[in-house]
Amino acid sequence: MPDAPLPREELRATIEARRDLGPEYEAALTDAFLDRIEATIAQRVKAEADSRLPDTRHTAWVEQQERKRALGMALGSLGIALPLTGAAGATGGMPGMIVAWAGIVAVNMAYAFGRRRRG
């Protein structure tokens, strides 16, 4: 908060002004003092709320990056699955293909569960 005087200093200044100006200005001085206190409290509450709430631009950027990673994972899985299936089928037959696809499914499931736990 930028250089706001302490409420005690404000109160002292208000009391001094009341002494100088007289009791006819007491209501106006009191209202001005209370308005200043309310404004100070509102600034502090807003600053605290802003510090705890996420920045919407950052949140949108993080979501966009997550979508890019998910697309990369899907395309990478397909790109690896095709040659891996061919190699596993040629050398290990059907059991080799099952093992290869089980590994691909396990990697994708681990990625999906990791995303769910982070989100």
Say whether both 17 and 39 belong to one domain.
yes
119 and 61 within one domain = yes
Same domain, 77 and 101: yes
Q: How is residue 35 written in tokens?
A: 């308005």
Q: Are residues 38 and 65 in the same domain?
A: no
Query: What would the pLDDT profile of 40-98 be if each residue is shown by its tens digit?
Result: 889 999 888 878 877 777 778 888 888 898 899 889 988 999 899 999 989 999 999 99
Indicate if the pLDDT at residue 1 is higher than 50.
no
pTM above 0.85, yes or no: no
Q: What pLDDT is attached to residue 87?
A: 92
Which structural domain range is residue 3 located in? 1-53
Residue 102 has pLDDT above 90, yes or no: yes
The pLDDT > 70 percentage for the chain reads 93
**pLDDT above 60: residue 5:** no
Query: Do 27 and 85 have their domain in common?
Result: no
Q: Are residues 65 and 110 in the same domain?
A: yes
Same domain, 11 and 47: yes
Residues 99 and 89 in one domain: yes
Whole-number pLDDT of residue 27: 84
